[in-house]
């Protein structure tokens, strides 16, 4: 479709723009100052006894107003981009303006932000204003899934206020989760093992919480299929995101039915990566906020 | 000749007057619109801008049908606050395969041009069907019917792709052949989520 090169269009814009400016100048100049504007052979009609065309000239300040606009337009086109591809004497551009402001932002706030990014978590946690900032970052990025109270939502998005951290609750592990996201894969076993085995496994899994099971019929299957990730005692493995089965936190619901569904049909949890959306300072603040001493309810 | 004589001539010759009016009215369009439509670098896709696949294309049409662009823009403006909040500002080439473009002009909800990957598919799905189940204070309407209808209910995906190919989208015969299979079994909400997840900054990886 575009056979003409952009240099043509640049010239086109410049020529039409300049021609318009000259045309407007000619128009106002000749209306106000050129001779011979009145054709003598065509007398104007007369209204109200003495009112004729050309009775009074248009006010002169109109001329100066339009003339000034023309001068300002020309100055603008010399300084800023507008005349085709000519970038203007100031070399201004929208992208350049954003970069300039980003640079100024870095100069003004960069050192402080670097301090925050490298600070001890305890130091950050003591500063109420920094924690308020951290909560705003949380509200804008995390809250729609994990809830504004960080207590998790919908039996799908984990609570960040309890002691259970599927991928580990250490600061470094939380930072890893935020930056790179997490993909949890729990396969479904019902097709392979059959309904009865799933029932037994569900029952056995529930007994792991109090450790009361003795010679449970589900134990063999558990050790065979589940222990590799969740551990023989059910204590989980944060490296794999395999949750602890011995505590009473259960991401997808506490009921036997929900746990049976997890075992039978599997689950696929996903935490998106925020490494490109949040900078080091924001991540550090979030980690500090999430691990603050009064975070656990 | 001066302007008063010219005016007299135009005033007495309506054909010439019509021509003059059209000429003057056209100047703005000739300078502002025509080069934008025909200039190479404004219609050339960015380095990582690819045409939408059949699922994303269907989702895009649903985005239009449900009027999402009434409340959501798809243009991150080149302003510090927007770049900080949403990511890299939008460039012309990114819209090369958007017919029509969906830049929008109003933000009742947030800008969506960089929304892809921020939330999971599951979250997007639940949120579209019932926003307040996840964001209690949300004023976004729910779109529960998206879960009820098949994504390609009217079977029009192939003719859509052929029409876009005529406009220059590089779909191959094999792409068009495979399109109905890609949509098979999907609900409308799945297609819309796939489209939203495809709205990414150009330097980020495209959705799998």
Structural domain containing residue A121 = 110-180+278-292
Q: Can you give the pLDDT at residue B92?
A: 81
In a domain, A87, yes or no: no
ipTM score for this prediction: 0.78
Please judge whether B39 and A6 are an interchain contact, meaning their C-beta atoms are less than 8 angstroms apart: yes
* Together in a domain, A150 and A282: yes
Q: Can you give the pLDDT at residue B64?
A: 95
Looking at residue A187, which CATH number applies to its domain?
A: 1.10.760.10
Non-local CB neighbours of A138 within 8 Å, separated by 6+ positions: A150, A286, A289, A290
Helix (H, G, I), strand (E, B) or coil at B187: strand
Q: Which of A168-177, A180-189, B39-48, B113-122 has the highest mean pLDDT?
A: B113-122
CA gap A80, A66 in Å, rounded: 21
The residue that leads in pLDDT, B138 or A260, is B138
* Together in a domain, A168 and A207: no
Please judge whether B89 and A95 are an interchain contact, meaning their C-beta atoms are less than 8 angstroms apart: yes
**Nearest by CB: A154 against B83, B89, B126:** B126
CA gap A51, A34 in Å, rounded: 23
Q: Which of A36-40, A64-68, A156-160, A208-212 has the highest mean pLDDT?
A: A64-68
Please judge whether A4 and B120 are an interchain contact, meaning their C-beta atoms are less than 8 angstroms apart: no
Written in H, E and C, the secondary structure of A73-100 is HHHHHHHCCCCCCCCCCCCCCHHHHHHH
Q: Can you give the pLDDT at residue A155?
A: 80
Q: Encode pLDDT of A161-203 as tens digits.
A: 887 888 888 888 898 899 898 888 888 887 777 777 788 788 7
Query: Do B208 and B193 touch, CB atoms closer than 8 A?
Result: no
* Widest pairwise Cα distance in chain B: 74
In a domain, A56, yes or no: no
CA gap B51, B165 in Å, rounded: 10
Please judge whether B38 and A9 are an interchain contact, meaning their C-beta atoms are less than 8 angstroms apart: yes
Non-local CB neighbours of B62 within 8 Å, separated by 6+ positions: B146, B188, B191, B192, B195
* Together in a domain, A282 and A149: yes
Give the mutation candidate from A144, A151, A281 for the B interface (greatest B CB count, under 10 A). A144
User: Among A205, A230, A229, which Cα is nearest to A216's?
Assistant: A205
Please say if the pLDDT value at position B196 is more than 50: yes
In a domain, A230, yes or no: yes
Please say if the pLDDT value at position B156 is more than 50: yes
In a domain, A79, yes or no: no
In a domain, A231, yes or no: yes
Given this structure, which CATH class describes domain B49-197?
mainly alpha
* DSSP sequence for B47-93: TT--PPPHHHHHHHHHHHHTTGGGT------SSHHHHHHH-SPP-GG
- Give yes or no for A172 touching B (CB within 8 A): no
**Nearest by CB: A5 against B3, B40, B135:** B40
* Together in a domain, A140 and A284: yes
The predicted model gives A213-219 an average pLDDT of 72
* Together in a domain, A282 and A167: yes
* Together in a domain, A155 and A200: no
Residue of A nearest to B41 (CA): A6
Q: Can you give the pLDDT at residue B41?
A: 63
Q: Encode pLDDT of A108-136 as tens digits.
A: 999 999 998 888 888 888 888 989 999 99
* Together in a domain, A190 and A265: yes
| pLDDT band (50, 70, 90) for residue B37 | confident
- Cβ count near A174 (within 10 Å): 20
The overall average pLDDT reported for chain B is 87
Please judge whether A154 and B133 are an interchain contact, meaning their C-beta atoms are less than 8 angstroms apart: yes
**Across A101-105, A143-147, B29-33, B158-162, least confident range:** B29-33
CA distances from A255 to A110, A258, B83 (A): 49, 5, 45
* Together in a domain, A159 and A287: yes
Non-local CB neighbours of B163 within 8 Å, separated by 6+ positions: none
Q: Can you give the pLDDT at residue A99?
A: 92
Q: Can you give the pLDDT at residue A42?
A: 64
- The residue ranges of every structural domain in chain B are 3-38, 49-197
* Together in a domain, A284 and A148: yes
In the structure encoding, which two tokens stand for residue A153, read together?
A: 């939502």
In a domain, A228, yes or no: yes
Q: Can you give the pLDDT at residue B205?
A: 43
A165 burial via Cβ count (<10 Å: 0-12, 13-18, 19+): buried
Non-local CB neighbours of A93 within 8 Å, separated by 6+ positions: A81, A87
Chain B contact set for A35 (CB, 8 A): 2
* Together in a domain, A190 and A261: yes
* Together in a domain, A198 and A263: yes
Total number of domains in chain A: 2
* Together in a domain, A159 and A267: no
Percent of chain A scored above 90 by pLDDT? 22
Query: Do B202 and B49 touch, CB atoms closer than 8 A?
Result: yes
- Angle at the Cα of A142 (from A289 to A175), degrees rounded to 5? 55
Give the mutation candidate from A153, A251, A282 for the B interface (greatest B CB count, under 10 A). A153
- Per-residue DSSP letter, B145: G
| pLDDT band (50, 70, 90) for residue A1 | very low
In the structure encoding, which two tokens stand for residue B21, read together?
A: 């009016």
CA gap A122, A139 in Å, rounded: 21
* DSSP sequence for chain A: ---S-HHHHHHHHHHHHHHHHHHHHHHHHHHHH-S--S-TTSPPP-BTTTB-TTSSPPPHHHHHHHHHHHHHHHHHHHHSS-STT---TT---HHHHHHHHHHHHHHHHHHHHHHHHHS-HHHHHH-HHHHHHHHHHHHHHTHHHH-TTSS-BTTTB--SSSS--TT--SHHHHHHHHHH-EEEEE---HHHH-HHHHHHHHHHHHHTTTT--SS-TTHHHIIIIIHHHH-TTS--BTTTTB--SSSS--TT-SSHHHHHHHHHH-EEEEE---TTTS-HHHHHHHHHHHT-GGG--
CA gap B55, B52 in Å, rounded: 8
Please judge whether A97 and B78 are an interchain contact, meaning their C-beta atoms are less than 8 angstroms apart: yes
């Amino acid at each position: 479709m575009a056979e003409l090169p952009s240099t043509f269009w640049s010239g086109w814009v410049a020529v039409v723009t300049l021609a318009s400016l000259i045309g407007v100048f000619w128009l106002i100049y000749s209306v106000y100052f050129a001779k011979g504007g009145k054709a003598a052979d065509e007398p104007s009609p007369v209204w109200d006894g003495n009112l004729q065309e050309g009775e009074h000239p248009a006010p002169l300040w109109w001329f100066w107003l339009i003339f000034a606009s023309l001068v300002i337009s020309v100055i603008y086109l010399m300084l800023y981009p507008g005349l085709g591809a000519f970038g203007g004497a100031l070399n201004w551009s929208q992208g350049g303006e954003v970069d300039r402001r980003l640079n100024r932002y870095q100069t003004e706030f960069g050192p402080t932000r670097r301090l925050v990014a490298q600070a001890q978590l305890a130091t950050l946690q003591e500063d109420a204003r920094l924690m308020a900032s951290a909560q705003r970052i949380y509200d804008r990025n995390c809250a729609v899934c994990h809830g504004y109270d960080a207590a998790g939502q919908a039996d799908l998005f984990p609570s960040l206020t309890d002691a259970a951290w599927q991928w580990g609750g250490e600061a470094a592990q939380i930072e890893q989760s935020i930056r790179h996201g997490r993909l949890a894969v729990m396969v479904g076993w019902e097709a392979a093992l059959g309904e009865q085995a799933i029932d037994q496994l569900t029952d056995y899994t529930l007994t792991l919480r109090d450790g009361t099971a003795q010679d449970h019929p589900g134990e063999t299957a558990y050790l065979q299929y589940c222990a590799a990730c969740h551990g023989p005692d059910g204590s989980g493995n944060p490296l794999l995101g395999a949750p602890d089965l011995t505590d009473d936190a259960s991401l997808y619901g506490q009921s036997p039915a929900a746990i049976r569904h997890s075992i039978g049909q599997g689950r696929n949890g996903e935490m998106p990566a925020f490494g490109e959306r949040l900078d080091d300072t924001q991540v550090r603040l979030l980690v500090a906020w999430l691990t603050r001493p009064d975070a656990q309810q | 000749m001066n302007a008063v004589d010219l005016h007299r001539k135009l005033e007495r010759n309506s054909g010439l007057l019509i021509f003059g009016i059209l000429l003057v009215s056209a100047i703005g369009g000739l300078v502002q619109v025509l080069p934008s439509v025909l200039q190479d670098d404004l219609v050339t896709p960015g380095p990582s801008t690819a045409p939408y696949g059949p699922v994303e294309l269907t989702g895009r049409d649903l985005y239009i049908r449900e009027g999402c662009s009434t409340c959501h823009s798809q243009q991150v403006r080149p302003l510090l606050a927007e770049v900080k909040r949403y990511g890299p500002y939008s460039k012309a080439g990114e819209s090369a395969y958007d017919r029509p473009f969906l830049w929008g002009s109003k933000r009742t909800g947030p800008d969506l041009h960089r929304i892809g990957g921020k939330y999971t598919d599951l979250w997007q799905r639940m949120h579209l069907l019932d926003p307040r189940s996840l964001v209690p204070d949300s004023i976004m309407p729910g779109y529960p019917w998206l879960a009820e209808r098949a994504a390609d209910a009217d079977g029009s995906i192939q003719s859509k792709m052929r029409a876009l190919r005529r406009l220059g989208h590089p779909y191959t015969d094999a792409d068009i052949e495979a399109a109905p299979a890609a949509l098979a079994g999907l609900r409308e909400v799945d297609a819309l989520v796939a489209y939203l997840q495809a709205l990414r900054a150009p330097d980020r990886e495209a959705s799998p």
